Structure 1
Amino acid sequence: MNFKFFIALIISKILSLALQLRNGGTALPGLIALKFEPDFMAYFQHQFRQGIILVSGTNGKTTTTALIKELVFNQKLNVIHNAAGSNLLRGIASSLLKSSDWSGKIRADWGVFEVDEATLPSAIQVLKPKIVLILNLFRDQLDRYGEIDATAQNWKKSLETLSAETFVILNADDPVVALLGKNLPAHVYFYGLNDWEHVHKTISHFADSIFCPSCRQLLVYDAVWYSHLGIWCCQRCHEKRPLLDLAVEKIKLNPILSLTVALPDQPKREIQTKLGGIYNASNLGAVLLISSILKIDSAAVQKVIADFQPTFGRLEEFTYQGRRVKILLSKNPTGFTESIRTLLYGKKKNLLLVLNDKIADGTDVSWIYDVDFELLKDVTEKIIVSGTRAYDLALRLKYADLKTIIEPYLKKAIQQSLANLSNKETLFILPTYTAMLRVRKILKGRSLEN
């Protein structure tokens, strides 16, 4: 065993044990290990008996990864998973540390890891995955990631290094993601939506990838599901949405999600879930395609998805002071708008919107002007806003002709929101990432912040 690896392992495991006693610092042990030995994770890569699955994309990573993990675990296989949502290399390294013994040995069939968009190329290089799933690509934290074209180029270069034994799963509805599959050595599979009841007539003003990634011509859409995702083609170079290996059909959104999936030469299957939103219909398509590749029994898949509970701020539900609270993480224009769309059904809602501008949120909050807040006129009559940029958010909502109450202090904002609720009503909180961590800490009494 490499001496640097051994020292990194021992120090980081001691730190990990200490932090577990304090319920904090999920990524710190991995950060320390990588500082001591930059190749730390390479020592674990070959120990997975069946391989590693990496899941990346702007929106939907945490829920999708958790579902895949549950499907694999349900097969009585050992799985290592970065469950706390720490999706940089340090977070994955911490998960490996937690699962290893003091000699650096792990006993796992699969590794299922959520991976940050900017980290994906490095993760591919180090972990040599068996399956890579890319969900979508939207603007998010421009001060950190830059424009989406740069991210896509980095992804393409890393995907080209994969072996012919690797499976790459791509969202055909996203033109930038779909065209990553061209001329790859790996096996490439596509999933997408095929439900004309949920088509938008026009592409939204905040859509990101409306130009052909190959020739920069304006794309033509036969159908738009949300943002720039839909049935698309280029009339100049004739690129178009690839044929689907799995199609998601007959989507029902009120109040929770059900759908039908179609695979070639297989009977159609109806899926019920506690998740919501058209975006989760797409995510479920990805999960179901992977389950098909792994040859997991369809009845077992349906049960796991039906029983799956939303986690870590993604439609996660709490009971706090006798009242029901739901959190919908909303961290970029597309994600925030789709969170709002999930609330359009049923009675008027009680809303608390929380905008922070810490590094993990993106320090530039101008993106809020690309959120379709005008939809909230059909959702609520009064909104409480909070967070480090509460006043910026209140101004944006004023332009949308919405009434707001400003309470910058989050705990007070939650208390004020709950005071307006009857016992049978639910408070819906739509926070950015660091605000979500803080909300969870208040509601749950502990924090998973790094």
Structure 2
Amino acid sequence: MAGNTEPLSPRAKLAVTAGKAAAAVSRAAGRGSGSVIGGRVALKLDPDLLARVAAHLDVVLVSATNGKTTTTRLIAEALRAAGPVVSNALGANMPAGITSALAGGSDARYGVIEVDEKYLAGVARDVDPKAIALLNLSRDQLDRAAETRMLAEKWREGLAGSKALIVANCDDPLIAWAASSSANVVWVAAGQEWKDDAWSCPSCGGVLQRRDDDWGCGDCGFRRPTPQWALSGDYVLDPHGAAWPIRLQLPGRANKSNATMSAAVAAAFGVAPQIGLERMWDVTAVAGRYDVVSFDNRDLRLLLAKNPAGWLETFSLIDPAPAPVVLSVNARGADGTDTSWLWDVDYTRLTGHPLFVVGDRKLDLAVRLEVAGQSFRVCENLDEAVAAAPAGRIEVIANYTAFQDLRRRVGN
């Protein structure tokens, strides 16, 4: 249970030390932060280590298809008003990476942990969280992840016996269904821009009826829960009806949604909305996302979009046409090797922008843009795209490993 301050056993200490050593070797070899390999080594030596390093913490788990890394950062900043926080801020969100992050937080009071959707129920069993934030579910990594309703069902089953406070987005029917098996839920009207994965009722399969922000099933009666918290324009509405201004350095409606969820989570730990939201101003970028960098005497803004829902939100952020846009798509293991999701993205939103296409799967993306009636140029690499782009800040949109490639190229 959180609050247990018993020291680690000799075996656990050995596992932590070995994991840190493995991570250091990985960093020295230039293979990234080492958090994943360090966690794997540590868990080999002590399979129960994740539960042990979380035992003294009040833990928040954050899971979703989109926005979990940013929301984890926002919650962590808000909770620092109440005490020291340890978090997997770099996004290593499977058990090995989570174990590495928590192993470095012996002096922390809170653990704010992003969790990959597939691992949520298992991690929740291990770390006994005080709160779990559920943001959204949409199609992603189609070769690896379960169909969204199946994933929601796994969450529903896994969370049914949890004692944690579930903070859930009631505007996403899949999230509402997954969370409604829990006894203790705080509902947040955080919005849902992408609706194409939630037209049928997750409970019975009937067609959902939608009107404005409301939704419901005429067949079984499953409907949108009444929210206690809500995003309203540039304000968070709390359960008492008070409106608190959102002031973020992160752009877009999606990040206001993330801030609303974060304020509701922080309030459960005694952090007042005003204080929590004020602290979120300090988050300027998240693992390079939204950074504006100088490259080849041009300004580039780096934007991450991993799936149709993410691309839809990202299109709303880019400068108006004719701002040049570089698009980069890979299909490596961390991205999912199935690129059929490209056909679910409305690329007509890019009409009027000079488009430049790079990345491992640039030809897949080129075919999709051709069908969408867009003019574009296929380039060998970022350097060629930047050299060919007309004047103005260049918006660079990339999926996961393509984004990491671009960050390395621009020195970010």
Q: Could you tell me which residue of structure 2 aligns to residue 435 of structure 1?
A: 402
User: Which residue among 274, 293, 300 is the counterpart of 2:275?
Assistant: 300
CA contact (8 A) 1:352 1:414 kept: no
Could you tell me which of 186, 192, 204 is aligned with 1:189? 186
Q: Distance in 1 between matches of 2:92 and 2:52?
A: 20
CA contact (8 A) 1:26 1:84 kept: no
Shift of 1:8: 2.2
Partner of 1:220: 209
- Map of 2:254 onto structure 1: 279
Please tell me whether residue 209 in structure 1 is matched to residue 198 in structure 2: yes
Residue 372 of structure 2 is aligned to residue 400 of structure 1: yes
d(CA) in 1 for partners of 2:43, 2:379:
41
Q: Distance in 2 between matches of 1:418 and 1:284?
A: 37
Assess, with a 3 A threshold, how the Cα gap between structure 1 residues 298 and 4 changes in structure 2: closer, same or farther: closer
Partner of 2:102: 96
The alignment partner of 1:318 has SS state of strand
Q: Distance in 1 between matches of 2:317 and 2:342?
A: 18
Note if contact 2:139-2:197 (Cα within 8 Å) is conserved in structure 1.
yes
Alpha-carbon distance in structure 1 between the residues aligned to 2:253 and 2:29:
38
Aligned ranges 1:15-94 → 2 under 5 Å: 15-21=22-28, 24=32, 25-48=34-57, 51-75=58-82, 77-94=83-100
Query: Which amino acid counterpart does residue 310 of structure 2 have in structure 1?
Result: G
Residues 81 and 271 in structure 2, CA contact (< 8 A), matched pair in contact too: no
Native 8 Å contact 2:74 2:283 kept in 1: yes
Corresponding residue to 2:165 among 164, 167, 182: 167
Tell me, yes or no, if structure 1 residue 131 matches structure 2 residue 131: yes
Q: Does the 8 Å contact 1:418/1:427 carry over to 2?
A: no
Instruction: Provide, for residues 39-90 of structure 1, a one-character-per-residue CA deviation record: whole Å limited to 9, x for no partner.
Output: 1111112122xx1000000000010000111111244x11111111111111
Determine the structure 1 residue equivalent to 2:312.
Answer: 337
Q: 2: CA distance between counterparts of 1:135 and 1:62?
A: 11
Shift in alpha-carbon separation, 1:282–1:231, aligned structure 2, 3 A? farther
Q: Are the aligned partners of 1:118 and 1:145 in contact in 2 as well (CA < 8 Å)?
A: yes
Q: What displacement does 1:97 show?
A: 3.1
Can you give the 5+ residue segments of structure 2 that lack an aligned partner in the other structure? 1-7
Q: Which residue of 1 aligns with 2:4?
A: none
Contact residue 170 and residue 224 of structure 2 kept, 8 A? yes
Query: Conserved in 2, the CA contact under 8 Å of 1:16 and 1:98?
Result: no
CA distance in 2, matches of 1:211, 1:420: 43
- In structure 2, C-alpha distance between the alignment counterparts of 1:154 and 1:183, rounded to whole Å: 11
Which whole-Å CA distance do the structure 1 matches of 2:387 and 2:373 have between them? 24
RMSD: 2.1
Residues 182-218 of structure 1 deviation map (CA, whole Å, 9 limit, x = unaligned): 2423x20011147xxxx98xx86xx012111111110
Equivalence for 2:112? 112
2:235·2:245 contact (CA, 8 Å) conserved in 1? yes
Deviation, structure 1 residue 321: 3.7
Residue correspondences, number: 403
Q: Which of the residues 224, 244, 257 maps onto 1:241?
A: 224
1:290 Cα offset (Å)? 1.4
Aligned partners of 2:394, 2:303: CA distance in 1, in Å?
11
Partner Cα separation in structure 2 for residue 330 and residue 266 of structure 1: 34
Q: TM-score, normalised by structure 1?
A: 0.84
Where 1:71 maps in the other structure, the secondary structure is helix
Query: How much does 1:161 deviate?
Result: 2.4
Q: Which letter maps to 2:179?
A: G
Structure 2 CA distance for partners of 1:331 and 1:54, relative to 1, 3 Å: same
Deviation at 1:274, TM superposition (A): 2.0
Is the 2:19–2:38 Cα contact (8 Å) retained in structure 1? Answer: yes
Cα deviation per residue 1:139-177 (whole Å; 9 max; x = unaligned)?
0011111211221111112211212xx210000000010
8 A Cα contact 1:8 1:32, kept in partner: yes
1:20 deviates by 4.2
Q: Residue 41 of structure 1 aligns to a residue in which SS? A: helix
Paired position in structure 1 for 2:386 = 417
Q: Is the 8 A contact 1:54 1:113 kept in 2?
A: yes
Cα distance, 1:369 vs structure 2: 0.3
Unaligned 5+ runs, structure 1 = 100-105, 224-229, 252-258, 446-450
Deviation at 1:322, TM superposition (A): 3.7
Per mean C-alpha deviation after superposition, the further-off stretch among 175-184 and 110-119 is: 175-184
Question: 1:281 is aligned with what amino acid?
Answer: K
- Residue 312 of structure 1 and its aligned partner are, at CA, apart by 1.8
**Could you tell me which amino acid in structure 2 is paired with residue 376 of structure 1?**
L
In 1, the alpha carbon distance for the partners of 2:297 and 2:282 equals: 24
Cα deviation digits, residues 336-377 of structure 1 (max 9, x gap):
12211222x544221111110101111010110000101111
Match of residue 5 from structure 2: none
Q: Is the 8 A contact 1:337 1:373 kept in 2?
A: no
SS of 1:113's equivalent in the other structure is strand
SS at match of 1:190: strand
Indicate conservation of the 8 Å contact 2:79/2:276, yes or no: no
